[in-house]
Amino acid sequence: MAHYDYEYVRNGVANLFMIFEPLAGRRKVDVTDRRTKKDYAECLRRISDEMYPDAEVIVLVQDNLNTHSPASLYEAFEPAEAKRLAERFEVHCIARGSWGAGMC
């Protein structure tokens, strides 16, 4: 019987922002080269202004990565724009199996 051994070869990395609205059957994946605060902030801007421009409030459920905070918006955008975006979202964080409120 032949024995096969495999060797893991890393061909690079990518970051995936998974955006979905299960009840509407909508999903989108944004692929970025990195996972930075600015990448996260730009993803939120796209959700706000391109995917849901007419929504009064966007419910966002996310994990508690270090990039998932209001500071990310302020690093990427001018203060007025960061505030506008932050106010569009109702954020719920999943941390250790529990729910929290506010940006993570």
d(CA 7, CA 48): 43
Q: How far is CA 53 from CA 1, 45, 87, in A?
A: 61, 10, 13
Does residue 85 fall inside a structural domain? yes
Q: What is the pLDDT of residue 17?
A: 92
First to last CA, the chain: 53
How high is the pLDDT of residue 53? 97
pLDDT in tens, 75-88: 999 999 999 999 99
Contacts (Cβ under 8 Å, ≥6 apart) of 35: 15, 65, 67
For residue range 16-60, list pLDDT tens digits in order.
999 999 999 999 999 999 889 999 999 999 999 999 999 999 999
Domain that holds residue 49: 37-101
22 in any annotated domain: no
User: Which pLDDT does position 66 carry in this prediction?
Assistant: 79
pLDDT of residue 93: 83
Split into its structural domains, the chain has a count of 1
